[in-house]
Structures are given as C-alpha cells and as structure tokens.
Amino acid sequence: MELKTTREGTNLIVDMEGRVDGTNAMDFQSALEGAIQQSDQGVIMDMGQLQYISSAGLRVILLVAKSLQKQNAKLLGCALSESVREIFAISGFDKIVPVHDSRADALKALED
C-alpha cells in the first residue's frame, strides 16, 4: 500500500495505491491521520489505483470520517474500481463517504 498526498488549498488529496488489508491497515491509519491537518476542510481519497480493501481498511476510513466530522471537515472518495465500489455499496460505506466518479467531481462537490 502506498499513500501520496497533495494539497489544494484547505483540501487534502490522498492517492491510495495497492492493497489495504489486515496486515497494513495500521500503517494506512497512521499515514492518513498524519497527513490530515486541523485546518483541512475536505479530504478526498482517490482510489483509482486501489486494488483491494477489506473490513480492516474500511474501519480505518470510518475512524477518519469520525474524527474529520469533529473538525467539521468532509471526507469524500473518488475513482473507485468496480469491486471497491461494490464493497462500499454492500457495507453502506457509500453513505459514510460520498463517492464521486472523478477527482474533479469530488473537488467540485467540496466547493459547493
């Protein structure tokens, strides 16, 4: 699993690549939490290169969603592969993390 983060104004964009599973979900959590700043208004997880995620990874996303909610920031997802999208739908995570087709759409949603 690799995370690359970029910043656009008060928004953080996280590129997720590879696999998030029970063996590396802790690393995913600390990397993600480490990248988020108190001043962030929105966080976009770009999952275009995410091959795989299990419940361990979803739990980290939930934890991050909760803490972002406390700082009144939004968490969005974009560019999900078909399989990841299915996992999001089955688990109800698409309600926790609004999902957009592209990064541009997600950024636009944050502006609104």
Partner 1 sequence: MSNGLALTLENRPEELERLTAAVETLAEQDNWPAALTFKVNLVLEELVLNVINYAYEESGHHVDVSLVCNEEDLVIEITDQGIPFDPLHDAPAPDMESPMEERSIGGLGVYLVRSMTSDMQYRREEGKNCLTVAVPTEG
Partner 2 sequence: MSESESESYKILVVDDEPDVEPLMLQRMRRHIRSGRYSFVFAQNGIEALEVLNNDAEIDMVVSDINMPRMDGLTLLSQISELNPDLRAVIVSAYGDMKNIRTAMNRGAFDFVTKPLDFDDLQVTIERTLENMKAWKEALSSRDKLVSLQRELDVASQMQQSILPTQFPRGDGFETFGSMEPARNVGGDFFDVVLLDDGQIGLAIADVSGKGVPAALFMMSSRTLLKGSAIGLTEPGKVLREVNNLLAEDNESAMFVTVLYAVYDPATGHLSYANGGHNLPVIFHGDGSCIVLPYTEGLALAVLAGMEFDTGEVTLAPGDTLVLYTDGVTEAMDAENVEFGMERLQAVFASGAPESAEAANEAVFAAVREFVAGAPQSDDITCLTLRRIGA
Residues that bind partner 1 (CB under 8 A): 19, 21-23, 25-26, 29, 51-52, 54-56, 58-59, 62-63, 81-83, 86-87, 90-91
Tell me whether residue 62 or residue 103 sits nearer to partner 2 (CB atom).
62
Cα–Cα distance for residue pair 25/8, rounded to 1 Å: 26
Q: Which partner, partner 1, partner 2, none, binds residue 23 by CB below 5 to 8 Å per kind?
A: partner 1
H helix intervals, the chain: 25-35, 55-70, 82-91, 93-96, 103-111
Q: How far is the CB of 51 from partner 2 (least distance, A)?
A: 26
Helices (H), 7-48: 25-35
- Is the Cβ–Cβ distance between 102 and 77 less than 8 Å? no
Partner from partner 1, partner 2, none binding residue 35, C-beta < 5-8 Å depending on class: none
Spatial separation of the C-alpha atoms in residues 81 and 45, rounded to whole Å: 13
Q: How far is the CB of 66 from partner 2 (least distance, A)?
A: 6
